[in-house]
Amino acid sequence: MRSLNFNHLHYFWAVAHAGSLTRAAEHMNLSQSALSVQIQKLEHQMGHPLFERVGKKLILTEAGQIALDYADTVFKAGDELLSTLQGRPLANRQVLSVGALTTLSRNFQLEFLRPLVGRPDVELIVRSGNIRDLLAQLESHTIDVVLANSAAPQDARSSLRNHLLNEQPVSLIGRAKKGKRKFRFPEDLRTEPLLLPSLDSDIRVAFDRILETAGIRPIILAEVDDMAMLRLLAREREGVTLVPPIVVRDELETGILVERCRIPKLTERFYAIVKKRRFPNRLLIDVLGVAKAAISKTA
């Protein structure tokens, strides 16, 4: 097998980062046709198309994204060689890009990423956003995994896969006070003020259904779509807050907050959503393996 032509790889790397043949050709002082021929030669050697044209844009294919990751590593290694010889060594790192739903528990995100946190050979990139934008980034190979509390839609043509990582009970949490009697659910919600997730949350929709069936119209203090803010408000405000206990785990352990009532038959599920790939990120395989092993022990 012929060895890789690094000139071809460098031309591909330049086009991938420029986002177009025109910009890359101008920067490298080459004609577009010459640059295109070099990339075609690289694609022929690799046996995979590296770009697909969408309108006037060049979009990386899955193989193209993998090739770019390796090209980044190759040319970064050259920079590291120079830096090392000049007395400025740099660490060689693997990269895992994670998308997390804005409303998702920070504690859950940390638990998922814990096997990689602090590793000197790993760079973590974590982006927050709404599910639509994150799934679009997953489809375009910009990120490796999406962490969410609902599964991605599935059909026969879908390339997305949902991995259930955890299932947590949902509770009403309140500030610790002496002399508090046992909470009567759902009757006490006629008078006890409530802090709730927004209607974008699956657990909020299910909780509203429970109260509607019981004929209870709650006193709502606030509706919050960010679990981190809901956690802070639970610490500061009177009343009770609807959250999975993992969201306020530290406060429960220190006694700042207490579980007033666990909601019967109401749970929140946590998923890792991935795109089926021929060349999966090795770090993702490892961290998913740890997460699945953990849930199997508690099943």
Q: 178-220: per-residue pLDDT in tens?
A: 767 789 999 999 999 999 998 888 899 999 999 999 999 999 9
What integer best gives the mean pLDDT of the chain? 86
**Residue where a domain terminates, one of 50, 85, 120:** 85
E strand or H helix that includes residue 288: helix 282-298
Sign of the CA dihedral running 210, 212, 214, 218: positive
Q: What value does the mean pLDDT take over residues 142-160?
A: 86
**Residue where a domain terminates, one of 85, 105, 134:** 85
The torsion defined by the Cα of 91, 96, 97 and 102, in degrees rounded to 10, comes to -110
Unique residue bearing structure tokens 């299910």: 206
Let me know whether 276 and 152 are in one domain. Answer: yes
Which pair of tokens denotes residue 4? 């890789």
**Which of 44, 42, 97, 90 minimizes the C-alpha distance to 67?**
42
Looking up residue 118, the CATH number of its domain turns out to be 3.40.190.10
Counted domains in the chain: 3
Looking up residue 246, the CATH number of its domain turns out to be 3.40.190.290
Domain that holds residue 80: 6-85
- Pairing type for strands 94-101 and 122-129 reads parallel
**Which of 240, 233, 246 minimizes the C-alpha distance to 261?**
240
Q: What value does the mean pLDDT take over residues 118-140?
A: 89
Let me know whether 182 and 250 are in one domain. Answer: yes
Residue 120 in this model has a pLDDT that exceeds 60: yes
Which pair of tokens denotes residue 23? 């910009």
Let me know whether 161 and 288 are in one domain. Answer: yes
Residues 6+ apart with CB under 8 A from 105: 227, 244, 246, 247, 270
For residue 172, the Cα-to-chain-centroid distance in whole angstroms is: 27
Q: Compute the distance between CA of residue 56 and CA of residue 135 in angstroms, rounded to an integer.
A: 23
User: pTM here?
Assistant: 0.66
- Counting Cβ atoms within 10 Å, is residue 45 exposed (0-12), middle (13-18) or buried (19+)? middle
Looking up residue 52, the CATH number of its domain turns out to be 1.10.10.10
- The confidence band for 147, taking pLDDT boundaries of 50, 70 and 90, is very high
**Which of 97, 110, 96, 98 minimizes the C-alpha distance to 227?**
110
Q: What amino acid occupies position 188?
A: D
Q: What confidence score (pLDDT) does residue 32 get?
A: 87
**Residue 1: inside a domain:** no
Question: What single-letter DSSP state applies at residue 169?
Answer: E
Q: Compute the distance between CA of residue 68 and CA of residue 12 in angstroms, rounded to an integer.
A: 8
DSSP letter string, 6-32: HHHHHHHHHHHHHSSHHHHHHHHT--H
Distances (CA, A) of 237 to 104, 105, 173, 266: 21, 20, 11, 24
Q: Compute the distance between CA of residue 60 and CA of residue 78 in angstroms, rounded to an integer.
A: 24
Q: Is the peptide bond before 186 cis (omega within 30 degrees of 0)?
A: yes
- The confidence band for 1, taking pLDDT boundaries of 50, 70 and 90, is very low
Unique residue bearing structure tokens 């089926």: 276
Q: What confidence score (pLDDT) does residue 89 get?
A: 47
- Pairing type for strands 240-243 and 94-101 reads unpaired
Let me know whether 39 and 127 are in one domain. Answer: no
- Counting Cβ atoms within 10 Å, is residue 196 exposed (0-12), middle (13-18) or buried (19+)? buried
